[in-house]
Amino acid sequence: MRKVAFVITGLISSIIIICCNKKSQPAFDNKFFKGTWTYRSLNNYPIDTPFCHLEFATAVMKFDSISNDSIFGILDMGEGSALNLKGKINLCDTVYSFYIRGIGVPNSSTDNWEYDYQGYVIPKWKNGINQVDACVGSVIRAKPHGSSKAGKTASFYITKKQP
């Protein structure tokens, strides 16, 4: 019985992956990500932690180059600290997701840093008021740097700055 369940689960997963990677899906609107975004990430601490102790990072994400399903930009943390961003955008059913790798700038304070971002575009509400473009997701420190160990995770959200 376990073997049957395992095979069925594998088949369902394969079907979902195939359906989510169809070439016939519409191309992502490149204008969505292009521009400047406010980035905020929060530590995933227990619920009894005061909100003011949850901040992990605040920065500015700027995406300049977007083509088809690729995205390129920079995460600027101020004071010369930055990560070069490179990633992919994916459409599954009606949900846009993205995977971005942030690599430290050589010969800077972020040299050898590496962070991975997995996120989702938040759809706009039909009756929403004054909505801005926004995404949510999770970030992981992919490589250790200094005394900071690899594997650290946090939740993040980004909101697009209005021109």
DSSP characters over 13-44: HHHHHHHHT-TTSPPP-TTTT-EEEEEEEEE-
Is there a domain that residue 23 lies in?
A: no
The one-letter code for the residue type at 12 is: I
Q: What is the pLDDT of residue 8?
A: 41
Q: Percentage of the chain surpassing pLDDT 70? A: 82
Q: What is the pLDDT of residue 27?
A: 54
Q: Write the burial class of residue 158 (CB in 10 Å: 0-12 exposed, 13-18 middle, 19+ buried).
A: buried
Q: What is the mean pLDDT of the chain?
A: 85
Query: Which residues are CB-neighbours of 23 under 8 A, at least 6 positions away?
Result: none
How much is the pTM? 0.81
Is there a domain that residue 114 lies in?
A: yes
Is there a domain that residue 19 lies in?
A: no
Is there a domain that residue 72 lies in?
A: yes
Question: Where in the sequence is the domain holding 130, given as residue range(s)?
Answer: 28-160
Which parts of the chain have pLDDT scores under 70? 1-30
Got the DSSP string for 108-131? Answer: STTTT-EEEEEEEEPPPPTT-SS-
Q: What is the pLDDT of residue 31?
A: 79
CATH number for 33: 2.40.128.30
The one-letter code for the residue type at 90 is: N
- Dist CA 6 CA 23 (whole Å): 28
**Domains in the chain: how many in total?**
1
Is there a domain that residue 15 lies in?
A: no
Decide the pairing of beta strands 114-121 and 134-141.
Answer: antiparallel
Is there a domain that residue 17 lies in?
A: no
Residue 47 token pair: 């619920």
- Dist CA 117 CA 74 (whole Å): 13
- Dist CA 124 CA 96 (whole Å): 12
Is there a domain that residue 9 lies in?
A: no
Query: Which residues are CB-neighbours of 148 under 8 A, at least 6 positions away?
Result: 141
Is there a domain that residue 38 lies in?
A: yes
Nearest one of 41, 68, 49, 61 to 152, comparing CA atoms: 41
134, HSE (Cβ side, Cα atoms, 13 Å)? 12
